[in-house]
């Protein structure tokens, strides 16, 4: 998008936010938060993927605020990481690759690791293998849409092997 077009939308948005802050008695943070939420609703109303629009918007912001070499700043990356952490806490899900379950059962070790977006993978490793987990020798692997379902399946696997 050309700079002029961005400026053309930025000024009216700033005016709307200023009026909203006065009317609702909120600060900039609250006004911008509320505007983002309403823009997400407008994206849904237009049958657009809110996730895609948000990612595209954040990517555009990262490009606009990139350092002189064209890469996003580390501060921006830290902000995205903090936002992801806050979302995971609200949704009560774990960060990517966080181990949720580990059970040594006979010649097998059953491990469940979170994928960071609510799902998890269950892996069964052969303890008799000289390479074990370090080399990634997996007997069985299964992905689940929820962390809870993966842990329940791991429990069932452990019980069945006893």
133 or 74, which is more confident: 74
Contact (Cβ atoms closer than 8 angstroms) between residue 150 and residue 121: yes
- How far is it, in rounded angstroms, from Cα 114 to Cα 94? 6
pLDDT single digits (tens) 82-116? 888 888 998 999 999 999 999 988 778 899 999 99
Percent of the chain's residues with pLDDT above 90? 34
Average pLDDT over residues 149-159: 93
User: Tokens representing 60?
Assistant: 């555009």
Give the residue extent of every domain in the chain: 3-91, 99-161
Query: Quick one: pLDDT at residue 61?
Result: 75
Query: Quick one: pLDDT at residue 146?
Result: 96
Partners of 140 in the beta sheet? Answer: 124
Query: Quick one: pLDDT at residue 5?
Result: 56
């Amino acid at each position: 998008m050309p700079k002029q077009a961005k400026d053309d939308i930025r000024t009216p948005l700033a005016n709307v936010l200023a009026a909203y802050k006065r009317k609702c008695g909120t600060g900039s943070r609250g006004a911008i938060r509320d505007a983002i939420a309403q823009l997400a609703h407008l994206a849904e109303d237009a049958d657009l993927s809110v996730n895609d629009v948000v990612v595209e918007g954040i990517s555009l912001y990262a490009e606009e605020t990139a350092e002189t070499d064209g890469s996003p700043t580390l501060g921006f990356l830290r902000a995205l990481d903090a936002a992801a952490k806050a979302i995971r806490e609200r949704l009560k899900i774990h960060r990517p690759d966080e181990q949720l379950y580990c059970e040594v059962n006979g010649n097998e070790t059953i491990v469940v690791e979170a994928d960071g977006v609510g799902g998890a993978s269950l892996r069964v490793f052969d303890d008799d293998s000289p390479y074990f987990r370090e080399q990634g020798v997996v007997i069985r692997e299964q992905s689940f849409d929820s962390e809870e379902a993966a842990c329940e399946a791991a429990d069932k696997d452990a019980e069945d092997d006893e």
